[in-house]
Chain A
Amino acid sequence: MSLRVVAPIVMGVLMLALWEAAVRMAAIPPYILPGPILVAQTLIDDWGTLAPSLLVTLRITLEALAAAVLVGGLLAVLFSLSRWVELSLFPYAIILQVTPIVAIAPLIIVWANDVDLSLLICAWLVAFFPILSNTILGLRSVDPNLLDLFQLYGAGRWRTLVHLRLPAALPYFLGGLRISGGLALIGAVVAEFVAGTGGSASGLAWRILEAGYQLKIPRMFAALVLISATGIAIFLLLTLLSHLLLRRWHESALSTER
């Protein structure tokens, strides 16, 4: 096993042991700071409540990410095909991006009139911009000589897009996707906090709020662990996807052995 796997694991175990020891020696009550063993125990005991919430949060995150890929990708292609469309629409995409989601979430919840839908819209709003801006950058970063070559062989806009611009944009798109994966989860959690309810079914953010009201701090930590684990899992999966798609040709996926 390589150092990059062993080192963080050793570090993690050490920190957890230190945490547990500090909690025990200082006799900190669990409603202030539970030790990691108690958190793990709660995670197992409350699995019946936490698991359905995890699924709800996961569903909203993945749906938002899918919508972000679809809308962000299509808009990027549209922008690359028409300078006119890009000039008129891109400033609004930036406005959506720079407006804090917590500020507009209450409005969205009022308008959407359906909590599930409004959570999805919020998470999507946070997630789609990195995909849009990265894909636009990629679609423009095409070797100008290759563009000349395509023109020379009479390829129209469509063929140039499919055979040249899209493959050239793929590494950039995947970079944006990795950022968006994390943001979709953050958006889903933040929106649920703002909504203060999980709608038809409660997500992990609602479990944290609820545990806070009831002073069930170990359960709060357990829900937090699940959110972090979800974020890490999404990141690892998207990194793997990126590696599988690029490993044959892109510099970023090549081994460092030279």
Chain B
Amino acid sequence: MHLVGVRGVSKVFGNGVAALAGISLDIAAGEFLSILGPSGCGKSTLLRLIAGLLRPTAGTIEWPGGRRDLGFVFQEATLMPWATVLGNVALPLRLHGMARSEREARAAEMLARVGLKGFERTWPRELSGGMKMRVSLARALVVEPRLLLMDEPFAALDEITRHRLNGDLLDLWRHSGVTVVFVTHSVFESVFLSQRIVVMAARPGRVAAELAIDPQQPRDESFRTSTEYGAYCRLTSARLGDAMAMGPLA
């Protein structure tokens, strides 16, 4: 059974811009789904609709098993500069009213899992871009969400850091069983990470194609240089090219 169902969702903003038109999409529990598309195709809007931060103009977002906790990672780390790393990660638990000692213990445990053990008392400004993003990831995962929504989280990082975070994200995904919806405009990133890629076309945003990536492929650094990876990237690029060639809907 799927975790979330997007049913014929359209979004028209107050200024008359049609961001999304008739999107339908099932998100299976436990899958790693990437949403790939050019900028301005409504990827972020779709993510915010799933999160419940926006209301659809038409259509519905269904949670067949009931709405669950979710985590959200933004393009920037979006940390509170006045709180320590531990305070930032513990924030969602604090807002849920959890006692201090318990939430700090859980946050510290989560920090260790993203590789930031020993940085609990550090201030966000003292961290590098990649470490800030790890803190952001830990904050999203600390509530043990069923669904993790990520909005181009690694787009602002350098390639070496991005590759390391890609690998670590896959580890976290495998071990936690969380469902991930990952928005990106990078073909290579989407192929490396995903089991399924949804390619979107712009103006208005709509689903142009869907691709499956063989889940049996080992996702490690050797995959990045394999012929299979190259073939998947070619195929995905072609689909993305088709999507970008699609004219605006009449």
Contact = CB atoms under 8 A, between A and B. Distances in A.
Interface stretch (A3-11, A128-136, A149-157, A199-207): A149-157
Given A148-B72, A164-B80, A153 B96 contact: yes
B80 A146 contact: yes
B123 A248 contact: yes
Interface hub of B51, B70, B95 (most chain A Cβ within 10 A): B95
B72 A149 contact: yes
A177 B71 CA distance: 38
A143 interface: yes
B85 to A, nearest CB: 12
Contact of A152 (B52, B83, B94, B125): B52
A181 B129 CA distance: 39
A167 B53 contact: no
Contacts of B78: 143, 145-146, 149
Interface in B74-115: 74, 76, 78, 80-83, 91-92, 94-96
B163 to A, nearest CB: 25
Nearest to A151: B53
Contact of B95 (A148, A155, A168, A249): A155
Contacts of A151: 53
A172 B48 CA distance: 30
Contact of A250 (B48, B70, B72, B81): B81
A163 B94 contact: yes
A140 interface: no
Given A145-B78, A249-B125, A152 B96 contact: no
Interface hub of A149, A154, A248 (most chain B Cβ within 10 A): A149
A149 B135 CA distance: 14
B82 A249 contact: yes
A159 interface: yes
Given A148-B53, A167-B80, A153 B95 contact: yes
Contacts of A233: none
Interface in A199-258: 248-251, 254
A153 B81 contact: no
A167 B82 contact: yes
* Consensus secondary structure, chain B interface: loop
Interface residues of A, number: 22
A168 B82 CA distance: 8
Interface of B: 48, 51-53, 70, 72, 74, 76, 78, 80-83, 91-92, 94-96, 123-125, 143
A139 to B, nearest CB: 14
B207 to A, nearest CB: 24
B17 to A, nearest CB: 18
A152 B70 contact: yes
A170 interface: yes
A145 B96 CA distance: 19
The 3 closest A-B pairs by CB, nearest first: A153-B95, A145-B78, A167-B82
Contacts of A170: 82
Nearest to B72: A152
Given A152-B51, A163-B91, A249-B123, 4 more contacts: A145-B74, A149-B78, A164-B80, A248-B123
Contacts of A149: 72, 78, 91-92
Nearest to B139: A149
Contacts of A164: 80
Contacts of A146: 78, 80
A150 to B, nearest CB: 7
A151 B95 CA distance: 10
A145 B80 CA distance: 11
Contacts of A153: 91-92, 95-96, 143
B224 to A, nearest CB: 30
Contacts of A250: 81-82
27 contacts: A145-B74, A145-B78, A148-B48, A148-B53, A149-B91, A150-B95, A151-B53, A152-B53, A152-B70, A152-B72, A153-B92, A153-B95, A153-B143, A154-B96, A159-B95, A163-B94, A164-B80, A167-B83, A168-B82, A170-B82, A248-B82, A248-B123, A249-B81, A249-B82, A249-B123, A250-B81, A250-B82
